[in-house]
Structure 1
Amino acid sequence: MNKELIKIIVSTIFALMAFAANSVLCRLALGENAIDAANFTAIRLFSGIIILISLLKLSQRKTNASSAPIVGNGKSKGSWLAASMLFIYALAFSFGYISLDTGTGALILFGAVQITMIIINVVSGNKLHLSEWLGLTVAFSGFVYLIVPSLSTPSLAGFVLMSISGMAWAFYTLVGRSSKNALSDTTYNFMRTVPFVLILLIFTLNNAHITPMGVLMAVLSGAIASGVGYYVWYIALAGLSITQAAVVQLFVPIIAAIGGVIFASELITQRLVESSTLVLGGILMVVLGRYYFVQVANKKR
């Protein structure tokens, strides 16, 4: 196993854990009414900006370029498209959970991510291998199997908001696959959300509700789970196909469920174990299936 492959695997695992941490922190903050959705989103993004700028400056010092501007190589500055998708994802995610229970919200979010990425993949001319279709079906079935017992009829507003959040995250992921400087791109993407955040705060000022615990959760979500997590995700995307990037994210609800056991004293159920097996098995089929069948086809030639 070469160093580049190890880098992609480690980056992917860290990013998925960060995504799950975001889910747990948001659930705890909004579920306990520790902070309103708008301020959670704002603090989350501002915290991400601070940590990312710090990391970028540190990186520049290590490469003997401390006198250079924040962008590092002067060319990689993210994009307004990615920044817009990042803001829409974060905002719709927070507000969506106000009117949705956790299971329903997670199913809508990751379902939207899957559907969006797969449709874009097919429309762009990339046909899925049979193993990818099977793996996708098995993994998504495991995810649904985990969530179904707690499903409730979602509100129309919540359904629309969480669907928008999932689609925005799918586009942010696709844009990130072309990143040449993950740290710089992620930093500038976060920085470009500032105008959007300021407009948001102006319109939601009268409904502000903030507690110290809510601020702490938002900061942890923004600085670590979002700022560092999304930077590492951009690194991982360099070695993942569109389908792989879509399917591995189905692992996030499983990690989040484990986080619920650790931080919210939830029990490990037989259903959780069974669904985890399905999701992990499906992910393995997608990641390794195409490679295996391509190798077999090449040997027959």
Structure 2
Amino acid sequence: MGEAGMGDRSSRPHASPRRTPTRTERRIIKVRLIRRWGPARIAHLLDLVPSTVHRVLTRFGLARLTSLDRATGRVIRRYERDRPGELVHVDIKKLGNIPDGGGHKTLGRQAGRKTKSGVGYSYIHTAVDDHSRLAYSEILADEKRETATTFWQRAHAYFASCGITVQRVLTDNGSCYRSHAWRDALAAAGITHKRTRPYRPQTNGKVERFNRTLLDEWAYARPYRSEQERRDAFPDWLHTYNHHRGHTALAGKPPASRVPNLTGQYT
């Protein structure tokens, strides 16, 4: 071929006799689109091996399940506000208290059941800035409107001390967020209130993701001997999250890296 033969060409073979048959590929894609299953479950249904199913899904560019809305099958549209304070996500996480002496993680499943009754619940109120992921969080006794409102007033003051001017707040449709007290507190500060669509918690995804991290890295990170011991560990964990823990959405940097005046020393 002369000089033309020296150019780069694809190493893909002209024929692939061992490639998965087109009919099988179509069945894999159909199951994925209809049932939204992962490679292992699809492989079990179609009597294939998971690696084959994974290769087919990758070949046709089908999104990972983590990128899909399980209810509709649509790709989740991710967004990020341009500046701190443009949008703050607020949510409440209900968490069972640990009895004195420890729960099942300390005493074992059988003994833990006997000590669990009557210990009650804690409610973790959290506000997360959309742009920086900076979080303000408190462990409170309930999720009533007065509790949620006074929490927000403290959270708002915290963001203000960091030089963040909050413009909008996004919550779910919980009763405390539909109350007059909540509405009036935001209106008095000139903040717009937005609510997620019903049964669409992913709209408030940044604080939902914070809640999951909180459970994995603090609430259930080790076998605490009492609820007070777990609560005592919370401030240090929250400080680490804001100032030191790398965030994948921030190129491995902590939320503090996106808040120039986090210490409040500049005006």
**Looking at both structures, which has the greater relative contact order when contacts are Cα pairs under 8 Å and sequence separation is at least 6?**
1
TM-score bracket relative to the smaller structure: under 0.3
Structure richer in helix, relative to its length? 1
Q: TM-score, normalised by structure 1?
A: 0.22
TM-score relative to the length of structure 2? 0.24
Look at both structures and tell me which one has the larger radius of gyration over its CA atoms: 2
